[in-house]
């Protein structure tokens, strides 16, 4: 896709988007972790561009590791103390997003298991959560906890991201064992498509992993379903998805 989806017409607004094609991004970070934008700024960033759904997925780090403790101390991840405020703001902004843009905002987190070794690091998205989920423990148990809560589990950037950042290969190295544990595996992150995932039989999803505004130019997921959280999460689980590259129109100016 080379431009934003068109703004909703009056009929769509009256129907409340009973069934519509929508552009979605389910991996977005705010300044509650390591993103640069506030949650309200993210709502307007995506809403003004005609997106149908996004998920805010700020980091939750491990509580017992040095890296996890450091991230918490530096304010780069959510804590049990701050989590209720995070959910409260997400709920309030989800209501505003629907009223202003008919955009569905799904509450989520990115459970981050970071290690010095890339092969021991893993990131897991949990979409549709309503309470704190710990990043401690084995990845299979974490994924089970996510599903037990009625949320969707996603293996985030499981192969080389092509960026100068910590790589997370643990899930991909265990993909045969974990193939039925996750509802989807990221087939793209940002502007990079992962051929290993694309050519596999694993369920797939495409996201931006947005931390700054200009990263909205990236691969996205396209859905055709009711604009309702349950319908959206069900479409991901049933793999009623397509993928499209979204490029920020030049006439909007440069985003930071």
Distances in whole angstroms, Cα of residue 54 to Cα of each of 79, 88, 161, 191, 252: 22, 17, 21, 17, 20
* DSSP class per residue in 68-80: HHHHHHTT-SB-T
pLDDT exceeds 80 at position 92: yes
| 255 vs 233: CA distance, rounded Å | 29
Q: Which of 62, 67, 92 is nearest to 78 (CA)?
A: 62
On whether residue 119 sits in a domain, the answer given is: yes
Judged by average pLDDT, the poorest of 15-29, 52-66, 76-90 is 15-29
Q: Which of 232, 80, 237, 221 is nearest to 154 (CA)?
A: 237
On whether residue 4 sits in a domain, the answer given is: no
* pLDDT confidence tier of residue 10, bands split at 50, 70 and 90: very low
Q: What is the pLDDT of residues 96-140, one digit of tens each?
A: 999 999 999 999 999 999 999 999 999 999 999 999 999 999 999
On whether residue 12 sits in a domain, the answer given is: no
DSSP letter at 113 equals E
| 14 vs 188: CA distance, rounded Å | 34
Q: Which residue segment(s) compose the domain that 217 sits in?
A: 18-252
On whether residue 130 sits in a domain, the answer given is: yes
| 255 vs 216: CA distance, rounded Å | 9
pLDDT exceeds 80 at position 19: no
Mean pLDDT of 44-51: 97
Structural domain tally of the chain?
A: 1
Residue 69 falls in which region: left (phi positive, over 0), alpha (psi -120 to 50) or beta = alpha
What is the pLDDT at residue 254?
60
Distances in whole angstroms, Cα of residue 85 to Cα of each of 9, 82, 131, 160, 244: 34, 6, 11, 34, 33
Contact 175, 200 (CB under 8 A): yes
On whether residue 2 sits in a domain, the answer given is: no
CATH number for the domain harbouring residue 161: 3.20.20.140
On whether residue 7 sits in a domain, the answer given is: no
Token representation of residue 92: 């309030």
Give the number of other Cβ atoms within 10 Å of residue 104's Cβ.
22
Compute the Cα dihedral for 223, 253, 194, 141 and give only its sign.
negative
Mean pLDDT of 18-38: 93
Place of tokens 């009623």: 240
If you average pLDDT over every residue of the chain, what do you get? 91
Residue 81 burial class via C-beta count within 10 angstroms: exposed 0-12, middle 13-18, buried 19 and up? exposed
What is the pLDDT at residue 165?
75
| 38 vs 35: CA distance, rounded Å | 8
On whether residue 10 sits in a domain, the answer given is: no
What is the pLDDT at residue 7?
42
On whether residue 8 sits in a domain, the answer given is: no
Please name the residue ranges forming H helices in 115-246: 139-148, 170-173, 175-178, 195-198, 229-237
Q: What is the pLDDT of residues 150-206, one digit of tens each?
A: 999 999 999 998 877 789 999 999 999 999 999 999 999 999 999 999 999 999 999
């Amino acid at each position: 896709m080379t431009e934003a989806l068109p703004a909703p017409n009056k009929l769509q607004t009256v129907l409340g988007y009973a069934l519509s094609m929508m552009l979605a991004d389910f991996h977005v970070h705010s300044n509650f972790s390591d993103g640069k934008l506030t949650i309200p700024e993210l709502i307007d960033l995506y809403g003004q561009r005609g997106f149908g759904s996004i998920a805010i997925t700020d980091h939750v780090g491990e509580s017992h590791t040095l890296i996890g403790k450091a991230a918490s101390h530096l304010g780069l991840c959510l804590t049990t103390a701050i989590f209720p405020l995070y959910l409260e703001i997400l709920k309030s902004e989800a209501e505003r997003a629907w009223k202003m843009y008919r955009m569905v905002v799904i509450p989520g987190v990115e459970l981050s298991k970071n290690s010095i070794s890339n092969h021991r690091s893993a990131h897991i998205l949990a979409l549709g959560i309503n309470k704190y989920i710990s990043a401690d423990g084995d990845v299979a148990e974490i994924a089970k906890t996510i599903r037990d809560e009625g949320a969707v589990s996603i293996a985030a950037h499981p192969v080389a991201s092509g960026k100068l950042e910590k790589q997370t290969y643990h899930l991909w190295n265990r993909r045969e064992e974990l193939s039925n544990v996750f509802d989807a595996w990221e087939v793209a992150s940002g502007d990079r498509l992962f051929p290993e995932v694309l050519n596999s039989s694993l369920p797939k999803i495409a996201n931006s992993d947005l931390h700054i505004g200009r990263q909205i130019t990236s691969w996205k997921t396209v859905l055709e379903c009711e604009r309702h959280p349950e319908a959206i999460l069900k479409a991901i689980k049933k793999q009623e998805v397509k993928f499209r590259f979204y490029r920020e129109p030049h006439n909007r100016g440069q985003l930071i």
